[in-house]
Structure 1
């Protein structure tokens, strides 16, 4: 039978855990930037409105000087999906709860640049499965309307949403020192129609020079890029990143290039870019 002192410690630990969970909810109250209430906030239901989305696509196309709506809609969703998924994986990893992502629960704001700046939820969900069950219909409504408004293919928009979830989960895991737990969570959240989250480990070659040394002629020679087991921690000295299934299409805007891990890069080009990124990280 546990001693009185053990029972007292256990009850105190539970109270402390509840207090930490409460503080976590106080810290992460928005799906995006933490902002005070604003008079220009709008219901999350607008995110499924075709006319409203068409205006966002037109604005993004004008700002970035895209040639077509498809690229503008894709880039807008790349940013919006990152905002919508920002606190969910982080809070699920911390205490098993998350803001309810159902559109009717959200009050949203835009940034001065037309991006989705924040999305406050009025409710909570418990556990990864409940979060996913609320998130998928919300994303389905947005993606269907955005595809019609911009011409962007729905599978591409689902892939972007999946990569956003994976990135947010991975960053939460890195911050908490729980990378493997976060990657497993990402896999659990990204069930069809979302694309299963994938990760790779970028590790230095044993013969590679110190990262602070000048970059070699072939950046790919500095690193090895290996498929990652989500349930295992990254190897010592390595960095885990999302193996992207999607492209934001920013490179189609004048003066812009491809992201380091862009899936539209050739494998050799991507490895070289990752080598340069790894050296500077």
Structure 2
């Protein structure tokens, strides 16, 4: 990791609630691999095969979607969090990312080893995210033989969710989530607009959630159900389940 990247990561952590640091400090005991491996067809196929052991299915569409749902938010976390907290972004370029990887295909997180250059931080971040997501989604889709568009929807939710997480950790969720629309628009990618929804608890406390545009297909794995925030659930059922996760 470059000295500047180390300094930017330290500044980012200093500006966040310590309880949220783990997401930016992956387990160092896990192996580190270059994120550019995502573009390697053999490596990508092996990750899906390994995920099949976790989810007890050989459905390539389900495995690729679940892998991308988990991985996409980790790929963008360092750059999004650093931008929200400091106004400067760690690089999301695949060449600058290290995957903290277990032999069963799971990732504990991602480290960025460089700072993203550019005079316009939002535009620079948007274009770098676009390139990383373009390359990653193309590889995942090709490996599984599936369409790219649903994976772009997952990327939208990853960005929206990561901004919300970083904003809460910073103590300014409203300011962070306000970045979602301009950031996604500046990416100019084939992805839906990010959305949020506010859910009230029984005590009239409210909490913001990402209003997902994508489905992770978890329910298609044996013995699994739809996520509480799944867009495939009826709206009232989804709100009721989210309400259970709202602090009382």
* TM-score, normalised relative to structure 2: 0.82
Which runs of 5 or more structure 1 residues have no equivalent in the other structure? 1-19, 211-235
Q: Would the aligned equivalents of 1:162 and 1:196 in 2 still touch at CA under 8 Å?
A: yes
Q: Which residue matches 2:49?
A: 58
Matching of residue 137 in structure 1 with residue 131 in structure 2: yes
Alignment correspondent of 2:228: 260
Q: Are the structure 2 counterparts of residues 239 and 248 from structure 1 closer, same or farther at C-alpha, using a change threshold of 3 Å? A: same
Residue number in structure 2 paired with 1:117: 108
Instruction: Determine the structure 1 residue equivalent to 2:237.
Output: 269
SS of match in other structure, 1:108: strand
- Corresponding position of 1:10: none
Which residue in 2 is equivalent to 1:173?
Answer: 167
Does structure 1 residue 193 correspond to structure 2 residue 161? no
Tell me the distance in 1 between the aligned counterparts of 2:210 and 2:13.
29
What is the RMSD computed on CA atoms of the aligned residues?
2.6
Deviations 1:56-110 (A, max 9, x none): 1111122211241100010011111111121222211111112111112223231
Does the 8 A contact of 2:36 with 2:94 survive in 1? Answer: yes
Q: 1:238 to 1:31 in 2, by over 3 A?
A: closer
* Alpha-carbon offset, residue 30 of structure 1: 10
Shift in alpha-carbon separation, 1:26–1:265, aligned structure 2, 3 A:
closer
For residues 82-97 of structure 1, what are the structure 2 equivalents within 5 Å? Answer: 82-97=73-88
Deviations 1:155-183 (A, max 9, x none): 11111111111111101112222121111
Contact 2:167–2:177, Cα closer than 8 Å, also in 1: yes
Partner residue in 1 for 2:4? none
Instruction: Say yes or no: does 1:247 pair with 2:215.
Output: yes
Residues 253 and 91 of structure 1: CA distance in aligned 2, closer, same or farther (over 3 Å) = same
CA distance, structure 1, for counterparts of residue 140 and residue 152 of structure 2 = 11
What's the CA shift string for 1:115-140, capped at 9, x where partnerless?
23333222112522211111111111
Distance in 1 of aligned mates of 2:151 and 2:33:
23
Conserved 8 A contact 2:200-2:243: no
Contact 1:32 1:117 in 2 (8 A): no
Matches within 5 A, 1:233-244: 237-244=205-212
Residues 1:42 and 2:36 aligned together: no
Q: Distance in 1 between matches of 2:80 and 2:168?
A: 12
Give how far 1:258 is off.
1.0
Larger radius of gyration: 1
1:202 maps to 199
| DSSP-derived class of the 2:72 partner | helix
Partner residue in 2 for 1:23:
10
Cα contact 1:31–1:99 (8 A) shared by 2: no
**Count of matched residue pairs:** 231
Number of the residue aligned with 1:183: 177
In the alignment, is the contact (CA less than 8 A) between 2:184 and 2:194 conserved in 1? yes
Bigger RCO (CA 8 Å, 6+ sep) = 2
Unpaired stretches in structure 2, ≥5 consecutive residues: 1-6
